[in-house]
A and B are shown apart, each in its own frame.
Chain A
Amino acid sequence: MGQNTGSVCNVLILTHGKSGEELIRSAEMIMNKIDDIYAFSLLPGMSPEEYYEMVKRKLDTIQGNVLVIVDVFGGTPSNVAALLSKQYNISIVTGLNLPMLLEVVSLRSSMAGEELANEMVSVGKDGCRNLLEMLKD
């Protein structure tokens, strides 16, 4: 099973505004408190440089695998993640949603890196469905 280091993969959530922090709270309404997950909220007035430094400082303290999930491809959070991926060995998934976040909690002790990122993409995409159409199947 991939690169299991014996410890859980750390998760960094990078979003415009506080939606990442709030999504973690939503996930915690469904399951227990989630450890080793860190949200970085890009707030109005914050420069990309400040934001970059904030995330970088956290990455410097983490040993082991890191999965970064960002809200949307092509904004400051995703640009910052892309820049940091040149210096740190991180996997990055875009399009953060709740199915992804719930799944990462159960999978990250047995998966990391590419394998975990792949699974996040598949679970996240699978979660995007037409609710009423599903009932017809």
Chain B
Amino acid sequence: MIGIIIATHGDFGNSLLKSSEMIMGRQENVAILGLEYGDSVEVLTDELKDYIGKMNKGDGVLVLIDLFGGSPSNATLMNMWDANFKSITGLNMPMLLEAFSSRKSCSLDELADKCAEAGRLGIRELHKELSKSF
């Protein structure tokens, strides 16, 4: 099973995990990294390195990040020489649900692609679809 690490500003990752568990039930092999005020990128970089090691059960680790260009993404980039993980930015709920449902059945590269795709496909204008269907 591919390990999942969620790295965000603040407690968003933790609460998104809880929200997703409301839909999919309890998940294993997930770690949360939340950046708080005053935390340094160096400490976050080391914590992430540590987590990638711990969460890798042989199939690799997917790191889901809230945003390209903040401290969580910088800390991830600092670990880029580690070949055991892939990372997707723009975390949303469809992306996380895809990660949980597909991580037992595909490779790390495939999972990364699927999650980016699920994130994008999950972003839609609902009112437009409603006007089509009624």
Interface size class of B (residues with CB under 8 A): 35 or more
Residues of A within 8 A of B87 (CB): 130-132
B interface footprint on A3-38 (CB within 8 Å = 1, 0 otherwise): 000000000000111110111011101100000000
Does A93 count as interface, using CB distance less than 8 angstroms?
yes
Known: A85-B130, A129-B89, A131-B88. A25 touches B125 (CB 8 A): no
Q: Which residue of A lies closest to B80 (CB)?
A: A132
A→B interface (CB under 8 Å): 15-19, 21-23, 25-27, 29-30, 44, 70-73, 75, 78, 81-82, 85, 90-100, 102, 117-118, 120-121, 124-132, 134-135
- Surface stretch bound by A, among B44-52, B53-61, B91-99: B91-99
User: Which B6-54 residues sit within 8 Å CB-CB of chain A?
Assistant: 8-12, 14-16, 18-20, 22-23, 35, 37
Among candidates A27, A29, A124, residue contacting B90 with C-beta atoms closer than 8 Å:
A124
B122 to chain A, nearest CB (A): 4
List the B residue with the shortest CB-CB distance to A91: B127
Say yes or no: B126 contacts A81, CB within 8 Å. yes
Write the residues of chain B forming the contact surface with A, with a CB cutoff of 8 angstroms: 8-12, 14-16, 18-20, 22-23, 35, 37, 63, 65-68, 70, 73, 76-77, 80, 86-95, 97, 112-113, 116, 119-120, 122-127, 130
Contact among B8, B23, B90, B124 for A127, CB-based, below 8 A: B90
| Chain B residues positioned under 8 Å from A17 (CB to CB) | 15-16, 18-19, 22
Contact A22 B126 (CB under 8 A): no
Contacts A29-B37, A129-B68 hold; do A99 and B90 have CB atoms under 8 A apart? Answer: yes
Give the distance in Å from the alpha carbon of A116 to the alpha carbon of B92 in the complex: 19
Asked if A127 contacts B127 (CB within 8 A), the reply is no
Shortest Cβ distance from A44 into B: residue: B22
A21 CA to B77 CA, complexed, in Å: 28
Within the complex, what minimum Cβ distance (angstroms) separates B56 from chain A?
16
